[in-house]
Amino acid sequence: MFGLPYNTSVVLMGTALVGATCGVVGTFAVLRRRALTGDALAHAALPGVCIGYWLAGGQHLLLQFAGAFLTGLLAVFLIRLLPRISRTQTETAVAGVLSVFFGAGVVLRRMIQNSGQFTGGGGFDAFLFGSPGSLLIRDVYLIGAVCICTVLVVALTFRLSVGVAFDSGFLSVQGLPTVWIDWMHLLLLTTTIVVGLPAIGVVMIVALLITPAVTARLWSDHLRVIIVIAAFIGAGSAAAGAVFSSLDTRVPAGATTVLVATACYVISLAIRQSIRFQDASEHSTQA
């Protein structure tokens, strides 16, 4: 890949795919105001990762993905259920689910590491903080397949997804399946978070979901254009974080990815404000 070493090419492909998918799915998460839900899902994935590790008897990405996906779905179910059966507000439910699931994950992680049945530290730091350097080509194939399927689902349901994001009440009156589209968005959000954990980590994945989408919004008012820009920013930020980490092993890839994405946002905001200031100056001069 562009004359790069094989391992570097594998890492760049994996991280770029994750970043692009985060940009696409994150755009709808921002529109639906689900940043906190994404944070809860990311933390809820940790106990599933630990369960998958225990069932496999060691590091096994597919089983760990499956475990993280199941605990993520359970978290989504509880977040939706608690406000309906009690006086709990949605924000309170999100915070409670985040804390409980992450606490359970930390307990399971410590129990596995202290059991003496498994060698090494279990590789859980990669899921917590991101370690794209540990990705293998088979992991990239798995991540790539999931990411491509996620983007295809968004493309095939684009019109309904846009309608649900902006005016779900109107679509419900028309008899369209808004509930199913809503759950599909949550499933896509869960899937994207799960596949991004090895590259970005539980702690940082939410920033990669939100920041590229918010940055893209500064450059356009058209949703299709926003999604494309967010995908490029997400892919570029994730790839840059992996490159910086490969150049200096002391630099954490997940945190660097977030810093690069944030730098893109700050630069974009500065340019946008500068353009607004110039337009305001021209209007005042003409007046």
The answer to the question of residue 133 being in a domain is yes
| Weakest mean pLDDT among 84-88, 146-150, 168-172 | 168-172
- Output DSSP code: residue 135: -
The answer to the question of residue 230 being in a domain is yes
15: left (phi over 0), alpha (psi -120 to 50) or beta: alpha
- pLDDT recorded at residue 268: 92
- For the chain, the domain total comes to 1
Domain extent, residue 213, equals 6-286
Q: What is the DSSP string of 270-287?
A: HHHHHHHHHHHHHHHHH-
The answer to the question of residue 248 being in a domain is yes
Q: Which of 148, 268, 252, 124 is nearest to 198 (CA)?
A: 124
What are the tens digits of pLDDT across the range 46-69? Answer: 898 888 888 877 777 788 888 888
In our burial notation (b when 16+ CB lie closer than 10 A, e otherwise), range 260-272 reads bbeebbeebeeee
The answer to the question of residue 98 being in a domain is yes
Q: What is the CATH number of the domain that holds 265?
A: 1.10.3470.10
Please compute the mean of the pLDDT values over residues 87-112 and round it to a whole number.
86
d(CA 52, CA 68): 8
Please compute the mean of the pLDDT values over residues 109-126 and round it to a whole number.
70
Give how far Cα 135 sits from Cα of 23, 208, 226, Å. 21, 19, 29
The answer to the question of residue 165 being in a domain is yes
The answer to the question of residue 1 being in a domain is no
pLDDT band at 123 (very low <50, low <70, confident <90, very high): low
CB-neighbour burial class of residue 102 (10 A; exposed 0-12, middle 13-18, buried 19+) = buried
The answer to the question of residue 154 being in a domain is yes
pTM: 0.83
